[in-house]
């Protein structure tokens, strides 16, 4: 899948009142400024393979690569022209009703405050339940600032309104 193939131009402006500025300051947030941003193309590559062990159990293995073209990024595979951010995942399924998931991604390498090279990655685990056209998923992952919380709990609900009922 390709995103922003021709690039995307975004421009926005803020009309902040004094009360809004005081709120940003009181909460320790940056005061937004008028800005212009260009989003360069991104190529998302993915491959998956499903292994059926019997009628009840299966395993889905997946590998994805996010390719960006906006210069050298802090990812596993990088160059001046293109950077690749890999993601790996597994999903075990029981009767296509209960799903256990695990994955890793967001590989990064940086130098800490003491000058030591540090490599990190983001593990994710989850479970899902699918009953007829309703799917409920739960994931334990790090989706934000680790100074706030080490991990986040993510719940999602999907209703397939076009699925024909048997």
- What backbone phi and psi angles, to 5 degrees, belong to 23? -65, -45
- 126 part of a folded domain: yes
Q: Are 42 and 4 in contact (CB under 8 A)?
A: yes
- 25 part of a folded domain: no
Tell me, letter by letter, the H, E, C secondary structure of the chain.
Answer: CEECCCCEEEEECCCCCHHHHHHHHHCCCCCCCCEEEEECCEEEEEEEEEEECCCCEEEEEEEEEEEECCCCCCCCEECCCCEEEEEEEEEEEECCCEEEEEEEEEEEEEECCCCCEEEEEEEEEEEEEEECCEEEEEEEECCCCCCCCCCEEEEEEEECCCCCCC
- 36 part of a folded domain: no
Question: What per-residue string of b and e applies to 83-104 under the rule 16 or more CB within 10 Å gives b?
Answer: bbbbbebebebeeeeebebebe
Domain that includes residue 101, residue range? 47-166
- 34 part of a folded domain: no
pTM over 0.75: no
- 129 part of a folded domain: yes
- 18 part of a folded domain: no
Q: Which two tokens stand for residue 7?
A: 């690039």
pLDDT of the residue at 100 = 98
pLDDT of the residue at 148 = 57
- 40 part of a folded domain: no
- 13 part of a folded domain: no
Q: Would you place residue 3 in the very low, low, confident or very high pLDDT band (cuts 50, 70, 90)?
A: confident
In tens, the pLDDT along 66-114 reads 998 888 888 888 888 899 999 999 999 999 999 999 999 888 887 888 8
In tens, the pLDDT along 123-156 reads 899 999 999 999 999 999 876 655 556 788 899 9
Number of domains within the chain: 1
């Amino acid at each position: 899948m390709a995103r922003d193939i021709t690039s995307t131009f975004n421009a926005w402006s803020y009309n902040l009142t004094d009360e809004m500025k005081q709120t940003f300051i009181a909460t320790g947030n940056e005061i937004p400024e008028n800005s212009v941003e260009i989003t360069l193309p991104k190529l998302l590559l993915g491959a998956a393979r499903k292994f059926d062990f019997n009628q009840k159990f299966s395993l889905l293995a997946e590998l994805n690569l996010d390719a960006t073209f906006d210069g050298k990024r802090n990812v596993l595979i990088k160059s001046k022209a293109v950077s690749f951010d890999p993601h790996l995942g597994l999903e075990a399924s029981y009767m296509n009703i209960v799903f256990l998931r695990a994955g890793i991604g967001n590989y990064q390498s940086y130098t800490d405050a003491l000058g030591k090279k540090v490599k990190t990655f983001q593990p994710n685990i989850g479970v899902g339940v699918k009953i007829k056209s309703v799917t409920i998923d739960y994931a334990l992952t790090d989706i934000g600032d680790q100074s706030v919380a080490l991990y986040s709990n993510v719940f999602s609900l999907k209703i397939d309104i076009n699925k024909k009922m048997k």
